[in-house]
């Protein structure tokens, strides 16, 4: 039997080796070879993840932990940063999702990038991303997590700007990196605060120290640390106010959007909070803030989704919105449901992004949904799988999204830390989701074709459709691992809540005291009915009464414009923060450096020079003058002595 250390090393290093192989032959245009190398690395990681998870399953329920210590990274004073990994039920889910969905996306990319000039470079970056993402989820301390955290940001930057000859794409990459850096600065402050309060940044040690702590309020180290870490999460996971980079990030190749900007990297913030659940529960104020930010992000992003005409932008805002749901979940203490939604969302959103990639590929890089329509007939597999993703995201049972989203909403309504108002915002966001996703389906796949006559859409090749089919299956059955007790009692055999049983021992013990089963069933029914009605309304508006959307738009007038322009947040950031800062900097340079400091030194230099010149005239070699100095001097001396 191979030791777990070796397995963990293989898991992490396989993609790194893939990165080096493809990175060194970055000029190669052979997509097949590069893709096979990179996918091979991803699949090796996936297999090791499965083996590790199986080993975890074999362990007793309370001791499900596999750890490996590799080396000391930094040892300074009493600060030590260890390169050591932890596989527990939480990170096991993450490594399975990251490497599993990651492998599928690698394989899909072989087809998608086949016409690109630099596929080897692309696959190298993709593998580098996997490596960093695995560091992020496997690290047993905040510092290793931060290494991965910044590393995935770097890969995101490189991949968003992959087609860097386009200025806008390069700018999108830069925007992503810098926005994320704002979050990262918060993350760093969080690490410092925790280290000074508890002398460690190791997750297990922190969790062990928590029971000693009794603190409430905003200013204690725990609340501050949680606040700082949450700022980090808003950057990486695109929450208000730092979500602005994610829609722009769609400039990258579509499989990248699927992997990084939907399924894995952007969920890192949720994972981090779940990982730190022992700490976060001690900062109830911050938890409330997280829930509010999550709920608002879910709703506001969903609203923007109504107005977008770029297929990827719709999906991007949908991702922001779904991440909002996850934060709403962790905010009300529903850590397990948040992880559940993270997982199902990875399946169905990766599916839909890859589906959109298939569509864009078929449409020759056209992304405007107003120029699509009727693609269902031309692309049956893409349509069929996308349909499953759509059913999953709008929350129709028995598709995956239903179970996870409803569980979050249930705890928001009935949990001890929830609030009916938050539930209402969440429910509105869910209704909105049903509307704009149906609109997307209607405009892309259904109705009559508006496709340009020069474009002949066709179904994608097998290496692209097979990942779609696998993800579609997962989007259906992925939710069955978490069938709520309220429903399970009606199903023969009473399936247990597998995910809950799996993950709860690794979380902070927390009794959310949810309400009666009847209420849960009623809420479930309500949300399914509302979603269906909303979906039907969208269907009717975009396929039957086509004048209606324009009518509504006109009636809304200004309000529509505000939403369509994304609440002018980008404009605000540029107009009120970035441009003034650049102006200030130019001012500093011109006035402080060039005019003030330099001019002052010139003045001082002139003073010295002038003084020297003035004194020089005293000794000009004129004897009479020297004689006069002597006389004056003697007189002065006499004067001094006499008086």
Partner 1 sequence: MLLSALIFLPLLYAAVIGALPRTEWIRPTALALSLVHLILGLGIFLQFEKGVAALQLVEKTPWLEQFGVHYFVGIDGISLWLVVMTLALTPLVILGSWTSIENRTKTFHVSLFALLTTMLGSFLAMDAILFYIFFEASLIPMYFMIGIWGGPRRIYATVKFFVYTMLGSLLMLAAIIALMLMTAHQMGGQMSASLLDFYQLQIPFVAGEWLTTQTLLMFAFAIAFAIKVPMFPFHTWLPDAHVEAPTPGSVILAAVMLKMGSYGFMRMAFPLFPDAIEYWAWLFVFISAFGIVYGALVAMVQPDIKKLVAYSSVSHMGYIMLGLFAFNIFGMTGGLYQMLNHGISTGALFLLVGMIYERTHSRQISDYGGLAQAAPWFSIVFLIVTMSSIAVPLTNGFVGEFLILLGAFSASKIYGAIAVTGVILGAAYMLWMVKRVFFGPLSPMLSKYSPEKLDMNWREKVLMAPLVVLIFWMGILPNHFLDWSRESLEHLVNNRYTYELSIHEKDGHDGR
Cα distance between residue 404 and residue 480, in whole Å: 10
| 8 Å CB contact between 183 and 231 | yes
Say which residues have a Cβ less than 8 Å from residue 592's Cβ, sequence separation at least 6.
none
Cβ pair 86, 135 in contact under 8 A = no
Stretch that binds partner 1, among 191-199, 269-277, 451-459, 621-629 (CB under 8 A): 191-199
Q: Which stretch binds partner 1 (CB under 8 A): 101-109, 181-189, 209-217, 515-523?
A: 181-189
Asked if 274 contacts 90 with a C-beta cutoff of 8 angstroms, the reply is yes
Interface with partner 1 includes 518 (CB under 8 A)?
Answer: no
Of 96, 171, 376, 488, the residue at the interface with partner 1 (CB under 8 A) is 171
Dist CA 548 CA 538 (whole Å): 10
69 lies in the site for partner 1, by CB under 8 A = no
Among 30, 61, 69, 72, binds partner 1 (CB under 8 A): 72
CB of 292 to partner 1, least distance (A): 24
Q: Is 606 in the site for partner 1 (CB under 8 A)?
A: no
Nearer to partner 1, 174 or 428 (CB): 174
Q: Does 24 bind partner 1 (CB under 8 A)?
A: no
Where would I find the H helices in 308-369? Answer: 311-331, 335-362
Residue with the two structure tokens 């989701």: 433
586 binds partner 1 (CB under 8 A): yes
The interface region with partner 1, picked from 169-177, 370-378, 505-513, 518-526 by CB under 8 A, is 169-177
Judge contact between 403 and 485, C-beta under 8 A.
no
For CA atoms 539, 545, 452, 170, give the dihedral sign. Answer: negative
Q: Least separation, in Å, of the C-beta of 106 and partner 1?
A: 22
| CB neighbourhood size of 350 (10 A) | 30
CB of 187 to partner 1, least distance (A): 10
Contacting residue, 9, 33, 65, 73, with partner 1 by CB under 8 A: 73
Instruction: Kindly tell me which of 565 and 601 has the beta carbon lying closer to partner 1.
Output: 601
Q: Quick check: 74 binds partner 1 (CB under 8 A)?
A: yes
* 277-314: burial string, b at 16+ Cβ within 10 Å, e else: bbbbbbbeebbebbbbbbbbbbbbbbbbbbbbebbbbb
Instruction: By CB under 8 A, name the one of 20, 32, 196, 218 that touches partner 1.
Output: 196
**Binding pattern to partner 1, positions 137-166, x when CB under 8 A?**
---------xx--xx--x--x---x--xxx
Part of the chain binding partner 1 (CB under 8 A), chosen from 298-306, 376-384, 561-569, 592-600: 592-600
* 188 binds partner 1, rule: CB under 8 A: yes
The pair phi, psi for residue 50, each rounded to 5°, is -65, -45
Return the residue of 5, 13, 65, 181 that touches partner 1, per CB under 8 A.
181
Q: With binding defined as CB under 8 A, does residue 480 bind partner 1?
A: no
Contact 370, 443 (CB under 8 A): yes
Task: Identify whether the C-beta of residue 492 lies closer than 8 Å to the C-beta of residue 409.
Answer: no
Token pair for residue 456? 């002949």
138/82 Cα distance (integer angstroms):
12
Give residues in contact with partner 1 (CB under 8 A). 26-27, 71-77, 79, 146-147, 150-151, 154, 157, 161, 164-167, 170-171, 173-174, 177-178, 181-182, 184-185, 188-189, 192, 195-196, 581-582, 584-586, 588-589, 592-593, 597-598, 601, 605
């Amino acid at each position: 039997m191979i030791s777990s250390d070796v397995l963990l090393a293989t898991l992490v290093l396989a993609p790194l080796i893939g990165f080096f192989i493809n990175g060194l032959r970055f000029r190669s245009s052979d997509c097949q070879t590069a893709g096979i190398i990179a996918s091979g690395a991803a699949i090796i990681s996936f297999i090791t993840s499965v083996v590790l998870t199986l080993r975890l399953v074999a362990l007793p329920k309370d001791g499900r932990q596999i750890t490996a210590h590799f080396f000391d990274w930094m040892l300074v004073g009493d600060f030590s940063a260890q390169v050591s990994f932890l596989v527990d039920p939480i990170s096991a889910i993450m490594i399975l999702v990251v490497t599993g969905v990651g492998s599928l996306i690698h394989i899909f990319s072989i087809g998608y990038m086949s016409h690109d000039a630099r596929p080897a470079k692309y696959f190298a970056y993709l593998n580098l991303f996997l490596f960093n993402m695995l560091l992020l989820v496997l690290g047993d301390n905040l510092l290793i997590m931060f290494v991965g955290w910044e590393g995935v940001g770097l890969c995101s930057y490189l991949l968003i700007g992959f087609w860097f000859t386009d200025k806008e794409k390069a700018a999108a990459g830069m925007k992503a990196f810098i926005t994320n850096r704002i979050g990262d600065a918060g993350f760093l402050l969080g690490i410092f605060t925790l280290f000074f309060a508890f002398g460690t940044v190791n997750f297990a040690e922190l969790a062990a120290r928590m029971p000693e702590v009794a603190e409430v309020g905003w200013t204690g180290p725990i609340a501050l640390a949680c606040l700082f870490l949450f700022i980090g999460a808003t950057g990486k996971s695109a929450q208000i106010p730092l979500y602005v980079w994610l829609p722009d990030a769609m400039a990258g190749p579509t499989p990248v959007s699927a992997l990084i900007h939907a399924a894995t990297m952007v969920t890192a913030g949720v994972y981090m909070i779940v990982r730190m659940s022992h700490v976060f529960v001690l900062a109830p104020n911050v938890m409330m803030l997280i829930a509010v930010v999550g709920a608002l992000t879910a709703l506001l992003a969903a609203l923007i989704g109504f107005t977008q005409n770029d297929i990827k932008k719709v999906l991007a805002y949908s991702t922001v919105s779904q991440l909002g749901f996850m934060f709403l979940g962790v905010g009300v203490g529903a850590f397990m449901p948040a992880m559940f939604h993270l997982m199902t969302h990875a399946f169905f959103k990766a599916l839909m992004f890859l589906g959109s990639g298939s569509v864009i590929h078929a449409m020759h890089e056209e992304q405007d949904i107003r120029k699509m329509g009727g693609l269902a007939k031309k692309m049956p597999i893409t349509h069929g799988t996308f349909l499953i993703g759509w059913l999953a995201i709008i929350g129709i049972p028995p598709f995956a999204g239903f179970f996870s989203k409803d569980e979050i909403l249930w705890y928001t309504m009935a949990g001890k830390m929830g609030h009916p108002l938050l539930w209402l915002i969440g429910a509105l966001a869910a209704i909105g989701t049903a509307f704009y996703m149906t609109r997307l389906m209607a405009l892309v796949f259904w109705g009559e074709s508006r496709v340009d006559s020069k474009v002949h859409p066709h179904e994608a090749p097998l290496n692209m459709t097979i990942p779609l089919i696998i993800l579609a299956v997962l989007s259906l059955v992925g939710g069955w691992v978490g069938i709520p007790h309220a429903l399970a009692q009606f199903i023969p055999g009473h399936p247990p809540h597998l995910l809950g049983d799996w993950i709860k021992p690794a979380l902070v013990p927390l009794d959310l005291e949810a309400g009666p089963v009847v209420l849960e069933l009623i809420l479930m029914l309500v949300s399914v009915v509302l979603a269906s009605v909303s979906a039907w309304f969208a269907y009717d508006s975009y396929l039957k009464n086509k004048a209606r959307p324009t009518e509504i738009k006109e009636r809304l007038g200004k309000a529509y414009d505000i939403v369509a322009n994304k609440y002018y947040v980008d404009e605000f950031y540029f107009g009120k923060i970035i441009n003034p800062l650049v102006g200030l900097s130019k001012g500093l340079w011109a006035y402080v450096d060039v005019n003030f400091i330099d001019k002052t030194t010139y003045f001082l230099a002139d003073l010295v020079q002038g003084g020297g010149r003035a004194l020089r005239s005293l000794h000009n070699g004129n004897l009479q003058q020297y004689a006069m100095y002597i006389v004056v001097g003697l007189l002065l001396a006499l004067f001094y002595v006499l008086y």
